[in-house]
């Protein structure tokens, strides 16, 4: 587990302070919430991570828009939690959308776009589907 529990505690504190100082919907607060979700996933707390990531994604879409790079990173993190929970159809839908948006916003060869393609491939493999992405 390394330093993940300590990171979780520090991130919980940072999220609480950011919420107090900047507000629930500030992009920096939402990015911190998403990072906390990532840490929780690393600790195996996937349901809690999914809940945080879902909330952060909904808010980021409202605040920054569906195609903002920060929103797309949050979507990718949520899809990873969904995959870990065996919710492959939901992960697939989210990864398909994220890949399409990243292709449009970042381009075909951007590392984040390539990661999204890889994530979608993992979803399709888990579902036993093999198609051209």
Q: For residue 92, how many other CB atoms are within 10 A of its CB?
A: 21
Tokens of 88: 């492959």
Q: Give the chain's domains with CATH numbers.
A: 4-127 (1.25.40.10)
Would you give per-residue pLDDT tens digits along the chain (133 residues)? Answer: 567 789 899 999 999 999 999 999 999 999 999 999 999 999 999 999 999 999 999 999 999 999 999 999 999 999 999 999 999 999 999 999 999 999 999 999 999 999 999 999 999 999 887 655 5
Question: Which residue do the tokens 């919980």 mark?
Answer: 12
Tokens of 18: 């950011």
Residue 106 CA to residue 67 CA, distance in Å, equals 10
What pLDDT does residue 5 have?
83
What's the gap between Cα 35 and its chain centre?
9
């Amino acid at each position: 587990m390394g330093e993940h529990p300590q990171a979780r505690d520090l991130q919980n504190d940072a999220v609480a302070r950011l919420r107090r100082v900047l507000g629930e919907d500030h992009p920096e607060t939402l990015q911190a919430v998403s990072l906390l979700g990532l840490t929780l996933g690393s600790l195996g707390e996937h349901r809690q991570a999914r809940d945080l990531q879902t909330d952060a994604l909904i808010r980021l879409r409202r605040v920054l828009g569906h195609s903002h790079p920060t929103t797309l990173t949050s979507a990718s993190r949520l899809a990873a939690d969904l995959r870990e929970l065996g919710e492959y159809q939901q992960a697939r839908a989210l990864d398909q959308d994220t890949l399409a948006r990243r292709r449009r916003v970042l381009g075909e060869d951007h590392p984040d776009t390539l990661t999204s393609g890889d994530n979608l491939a993992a979803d399709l493999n888990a579902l036993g589907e093999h198609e051209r992405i």
